[in-house]
Amino acid sequence: MCTVCGCGGKYEKFGGARAHEARRIVRVEQDILAKNNAHAEKNREWLKARNILALNLVSSPGSGKTTLLEKTIAHMKATRPVFVIEGDQQTNFDAERIREAGAPAVQINTGKGCHLDAQMVNDAIRTLHPQENSLLLIENVGNLVCPASFDLGEACKVAILSVTEGEDKPMKYPDMFSAAKVMILNKIDLLPHLDFDVDQCISYAKRVNPGIHVVMLSARTGEGFEGWADWIEGMI
């Protein structure tokens, strides 16, 4: 169970023993993050030395991350090797989909854990053996809270928000959208059927992160995909 995200318990009043316990939890959280950041830096150095671009894809469950990965693999694999690390609490369904799409994949099952951490990614990299000059896509556990705090050694986080979720998500989960360099608005093919304010959503995202880059696309139909592909090419 992750103490950093607060799912280990709540304290409505901080006094006496509870205040002492709260301070202890803060120290534990700081230790966890410091240890994770050290592993992340090692991952980053290893990836940089081999010219491997690693992207950490984060979102709520059902946003379309895996479909986006399949389309990205199909677009990129002719010019650059693509490798994938899949994070889920259970099952290897997504890793099987990725392999069928044509990319080597390693599945990480976190059990009750709500995010990937840098050590998990390091272990997966050792198993996956990504080639030099390749693209490494990391699909994090579906969650807009915990993954925001954990650096995996990636070049950047990519927050995927489907238009079925509501335009207020950047304000409800500001840490995630503040940590991300890119926000992908996915499932735009459904916009004619939804009451979703695109301009308001982008405004909210830029309120918490003025520098965030926004890409609108449909991973299912391919509409707008070139904006995502061009951004990746610009990062390589």
Where residue 75 sits, what CATH number does that domain have?
3.40.50.300
Tokens 């994070």 correspond to what residue?
Answer: 87
Residuewise pLDDT in 10s, the chain (236 residues): 565 555 544 444 445 555 555 555 455 456 678 999 999 999 999 999 999 999 999 999 999 999 999 999 999 988 899 999 999 888 888 899 999 999 999 999 988 888 999 999 999 999 999 999 999 999 999 999 999 999 999 999 999 999 999 999 999 999 999 999 999 999 999 999 999 999 999 999 999 999 999 999 999 999 999 999 999 999 98
Prediction pTM value: 0.87
Continuous segment of H or E residues that includes residue 91: none
Total structural domains within the chain: 1
Q: Is residue 116 part of a domain?
A: yes
Q: Is residue 1 part of a domain?
A: no
Q: Is residue 10 part of a domain?
A: no
CA 153 to chain centre: 12
Q: Is residue 12 part of a domain?
A: no
Domain span at 224: 17-235
Sheet holding 82-88, edge to edge: 105-109, 82-88, 135-139, 53-59, 156-162, 180-186, 213-216
